[in-house]
Structure 1
Amino acid sequence: MADTHTGKFIKVRCADCSNEQIVFKNPAMNVSCNVCGSTLVKSKGGAGELRGELIEVVD
């Protein structure tokens, strides 16, 4: 996820069920959707790999 925003959290929409949730954009572990369990952000040792749709950067 290469963006120039400085916020540490992002709002992501799940590609499978359209649930929106706020997650840490540099996760130490994969982040799953609270509704369906699909992976929203995959841990990559820095900025995570976004698997859902980025809705907004949250400060």
Structure 2
Amino acid sequence: MSRRKELIPQPRSAFIRVKCPSCGDEQVVFSHPATLVKCHICGEVLVEPTGGKGKFNCEIMEVLG
């Protein structure tokens, strides 16, 4: 069934748990970010906005929800 004909549309975005490649810290980020997402501990860029789904520069641990 095409996305347009779904009775109850589901969102294409999600929250994602990622792991920083430098320090190993885990944090939850949005899959479609509007700004750069940096690590809280070391400041390395984890996700870059691309106008849609973000470019992930880190390991994806799990998709939440």
Q: Which TM-score band applies after superposition, normalised by the shorter structure?
A: 0.7 to 0.9
Higher helix share: 2
Cross-structure match for 1:55:
61
Indicate the RMSD between aligned Cα atoms, in angstroms.
1.1
TM-score (normalised: structure 1):
0.85
> Unaligned regions of 5+ residues in structure 2, if any?
1-11
C-alpha deviation, 1:7, in angstroms: 5.4
Cross-structure match for 1:45:
51
| Cα deviation code 1:10-40 (max 9, x no counterpart) | 0000011110000001000010001110011
Percent same amino acid among aligned pairs?
43
The structure with higher relative contact order (CA 8 Å, sep 6+) is 1
Runs of 4+ in structure 1 deviating by more than 2 angstroms, as ranges, are: none
TM-score (normalised: structure 2):
0.78
Size of the aligned set, in residue pairs, is 54
**Separation in 1, partners of 2:47, 2:13:** 16
C-alpha deviation, 1:8, in angstroms: 1.0
